[in-house]
Structure 1
Amino acid sequence: MDHLSPLDAAFLDIEDADPHASLAIASVAVVEGPAPSQDEFLAFLRAKLHVLPRARQKLVRVPLDLGTPGWEDDPAFTLAYHVRRTALPVPGGDAELSALVARIMGQRLDRDRPLWEYWVVEGLEDGRWAIVAKVHHCLVDGVGGTMLYDVLYGDAPPPEHAPDADPGLLALLGAVVTSPLRTARLVTSAVSGLVSLLGSLLPVHASSLFGPLGTARHYRIVRTSLAEVKEVAHAFGATVNDVVLAAVSSAYRAVLLARGERPDPESVRTMVPVSVRGDRRMDNQVSLRLAFLPVDSEDVVDALAAVHERFAALKEGNEAEAGHAVTELARHEPFAPLSWSIRLGAMLPQRSIVTVTTNVPGPRGPLDVLGRRIVEILPYVPIAVRIRTGIAVLSYADRLTLGITADYDSNPDVDVLAAALRDAFAALSVAAKARVTPSPPAATSRSRAGTARRRTRAARPGAAPR
């Protein structure tokens, strides 16, 4: 029996500990019409099942959690059970699609069956239709989900088979004996990163952005041009991820101000997943970085400079490498204490992480399904353990799309967050175009960012047209 890795199993444990969480990730492929018949779509998926890991398998728990859960073939597997069909009410726009995605993702997947669902959605405006691909996080991470698109709708080869998750303590000792210097470097890097990571887990200043969750969700869509984001990154010597996080910072600042709360510099810490993928397996191969978002910055250009500095420093601090090392070492430890500690930790009221921001590079070229062009892909990230909002970012062809997940009851103003994101991207684009000459990287001087801010006063969030 193949077994989950400890990291894969952690997503099951977090879900078990939080009755209000559904730890499934999703993407929504919007496709040019007309929609295929149910039989046509089932035939398409049936022909692809042999390349989809775990498509016909269900979970098997090991008694007393003495090992990670395993996979076994589901003798009652029926493809039609996993492929649902629905239609949007008129006019079939973003509001109707977002409401449907929120309802679908608010429901947990059935643990007694393979952990995935596909929803064919008819009735989108302009004669389009959509595919909501819902997969439990224990099966795949964001990058793995992108690989799934390339396999299903492109010409990419099938994913590699994931090895058993428990190579044993002897394998770890063997690595120490055969590669002592490399092992020593890895341990040193991991210890250094863990010190930095633990320092990033101090409680944040209280705000309404985190706290207990309900089961219902909001979902909102924000779109921007990938080319314009790259232009901003180039103009300010930053990265695409820096630009996204600067816009996210500005958006959370707008929410706090709209709620009458002070945007304190230590009030919004985000968790940023980092891929550590080294092969084409579909399981979770991800670590994380933690950083405060500069919500105290009035100007989005200043926020970009701060984000660039902070994440450059985090890369040097080996936080992501430390997280990866811990999950790798966990493969060699008894699973029961690890599982119990994860469940206990998920039940405790964490006060360190306010939001999650995940940025995944999607398919670079356009894809087709059944001869119909996929127009755009919308991402969805789950929320749990007092994290009331999450933002997923996905690039596809020439477009960057953001999916906002929010707890329904505590975020009645989720549209403020979405609108502020649009404004922030627009303001950054205006600021980039207003720069006369290139300047050194944003991290070299906060004063240079201040100069750019003075040149582009009119480009502040809220002043630029959407």
Structure 2
Amino acid sequence: MARKLSIMDSGWLMMETRETPMHVGGLALFAIPEDAPSDYMESVYRFMVEVDGVCRPFSQKIQSRLPGRLDAAWVEDRNFDIDYHVRHSALPRPGRVRELLALVSRLHAQRLDPGRPLWESYLIEGLEGNRFALYTKMHHSMVDGMAGMHLMQSRMASSADENLPAPWSGEWDKRKKPRKKSVAVAAKAGVLDGAGSVRRGAGQLVDLLRLPKDSNVKTIYRAPKTVLNRRVTGARRFAAQSWSLPRIKAAAKKHNGTVNDIFLAMCGGAMRRYLETLDALPAEPLVAQVPVSLRSADQAEGGGNAITTVQVSLATHIASPLGRLVAIQESMQAVKTRLGEMQKSDIDAYTVMTNMPLSLGQVTGLSGRVSPMFNLVISNVPGPKDTLYFNGAELLASYPVSLVLHGYALNITVVSYKDSLEFGVIGCRDTLPHIQRFLDYFEASLAELE
């Protein structure tokens, strides 16, 4: 039975072009078991492709007949080809992380086939240190980045001896617990309250737009135009690195803040350094668009998008690291307070209104040519605290690989795993030079807060 996409999910299909593929991904690094046989990597690949059917959402493709995919719906792919979606690759010697990131940069730049289920997974061997990697990408209309990470990680084992099916195996459909259906009364109430939600959501946006432009409280169209806000090409560059979570927590405790405060301060400091090297630092602070998940981790299997977005000042106009942190904390606290006072339906309406201009800008080609709504996207995704395993191999690190848009050429996303914060930076390599330098700038920005 066809399942029609929501307005938000359809938007990702409408915005996609050759220059702006609308998929998100993850790069996971694993340790090959010490007692692994010589054909271990081949056995991992067989584990990935020899599955008993394919579960949703991995088994579904887009069906659409109208222009602009206005009628897009998910349907089962009756001719599903697992060998197309799961691929086996190897790095050239010496198999450094540098070669791995270069490969992921190229793979992430390639669009998914719109005639097939919108995901691919690459098993990559030959990584130095007796390791291998798994790079998986899924279309944003299929699942948002936060849910995608949770979905993949929730289907990994908690011990090397635990046997779980591959993440896309049809076995997972058999393990699903039935969901409680909403009662008709609740549905009717939701319809009746729709107009009120739109009115209240619009009121929130108007209130924010009335605030002084130099306030630390931000909303859309309060960002300066920078080198980040140009048109992009289809070329990508990906950089990734891990930071100690206890170290970041210590800095947060020292400044009476949170891990997210320090993460945003690292981003703000890194952006200031990067733009200074290009002699392109604006007098006004950069504004980050920050996605906020509206669902719990166990709801990730449902697919689709369940996020809102807020705007936060990175205080890049402030030279003092401590002053910058205080301004970021004030900006983030205002966001938390406002969201806490809103009902879920009001947040949904507010999300549509604040993101509609983004979609229209991408579809009409205006993005990157007019004033930006914000400067870049920054996400913080909470991850597992315990060690995970994939077919007996220990997960060492898990790096998020997000997307960029016309007018928004950079994305910074982190995922926590055990005692680490895993940074993934993706950008348009033709629009922004030397993206890998952000890793040094993150370190310098953390060090000055310690």
TM-score range, shorter chain: 0.7 to 0.9
TM-score (norm: length of structure 1): 0.79
Seen in structure 2, the aligned counterparts of structure 1 residues 187 and 204 have a Cα distance that, compared at 3 Å, is closer
Distance 1:251 1:163 in 2: 46
Query: Which residue identity lines up with residue 4 of structure 1 in the other structure?
Result: L
1:283 aligned counterpart, secondary structure = coil
Distance 1:88 1:161 in 2: 42
For 1:253, the equivalent position in structure 2 comes to: 272
For 1:175, the equivalent position in structure 2 comes to: 190
Q: Is the 8 A contact 1:102 1:219 kept in 2?
A: yes
Q: 1:239 aligns with which of 247, 258, 270?
A: 258
1:83 aligns with 2:102: no
Seen in structure 2, the aligned counterparts of structure 1 residues 262 and 152 have a Cα distance that, compared at 3 Å, is closer
TM-score (norm: length of structure 2): 0.82
Distance 1:115 1:404 in 2: 22
For 2:311, the equivalent position in structure 1 comes to: 290
Q: 1:315 aligns with which of 312, 336, 343?
A: 336
Measured against aligned partners, the alpha-carbon deviations of 1:212-237 in whole angstroms (never above 9, x if no partner) come to 11110111113211111122222222
For 2:407, the equivalent position in structure 1 comes to: 386
For 1:277, the equivalent position in structure 2 comes to: 295
**Aligned-pair CA distance for 1:408:** 0.7
Seen in structure 2, the aligned counterparts of structure 1 residues 176 and 14 have a Cα distance that, compared at 3 Å, is closer
For 2:11, the equivalent position in structure 1 comes to: 10
Say which is worse superposed, 321-330 or 257-266, in terms of deviation: 321-330
Equivalent residues in 2 for 1:83-232, closer than 5 Å: 83-154=86-157, 174-175=189-190, 186=197, 189-196=200-207, 200-202=219-221, 204-232=223-251
Q: Is the 8 A contact 2:409 2:431 kept in 1?
A: yes
Aligned length: 412
Distance 1:306 1:338 in 2: 27
Percentage of matched positions with identical amino acids: 26
Distance 1:329 1:258 in 2: 36
Query: Gapped runs of 5+ residues in structure 2?
Result: 159-163, 165-171, 211-218
1:123 aligned counterpart, secondary structure = strand
2:256 aligned counterpart, secondary structure = coil
Measured against aligned partners, the alpha-carbon deviations of 1:262-295 in whole angstroms (never above 9, x if no partner) come to 34233x2111000111561332110000123111
Distance 1:100 1:66 in 2: 31
Distance 1:74 1:272 in 2: 34
Distance 1:68 1:162 in 2: 26
Q: Is the 8 A contact 1:358 1:391 kept in 2?
A: yes
For 1:23, the equivalent position in structure 2 comes to: 22
1:126 aligned counterpart, secondary structure = coil
Q: Is the 8 A contact 2:57 2:303 kept in 1?
A: no
1:296 aligned counterpart, secondary structure = coil
Distance 1:364 1:206 in 2: 39
Distance 1:418 1:185 in 2: 45
**Aligned-pair CA distance for 1:176:** 5.8
Measured against aligned partners, the alpha-carbon deviations of 1:426-450 in whole angstroms (never above 9, x if no partner) come to 222x2xxxxxxxxxxxxxxxxxxxx
Seen in structure 2, the aligned counterparts of structure 1 residues 339 and 374 have a Cα distance that, compared at 3 Å, is closer
Distance 1:41 1:324 in 2: 41
1:153 aligned counterpart, secondary structure = coil
Q: Is the 8 A contact 1:22 1:108 kept in 2?
A: yes
For the aligned residue pairs, the C-alpha RMSD in angstroms reads 3.3
Distance 1:410 1:210 in 2: 9
Q: 1:418 aligns with which of 435, 439, 450?
A: 439
Distance 1:286 1:346 in 2: 24
Seen in structure 2, the aligned counterparts of structure 1 residues 65 and 152 have a Cα distance that, compared at 3 Å, is same
2:21 aligned counterpart, secondary structure = coil
Query: Which residue identity lines up with residue 5 of structure 2 in the other structure?
Result: L
Query: Which residue identity lines up with residue 99 of structure 1 in the other structure?
Result: A
For 1:74, the equivalent position in structure 2 comes to: 77
Distance 2:51 2:253 in 1: 43
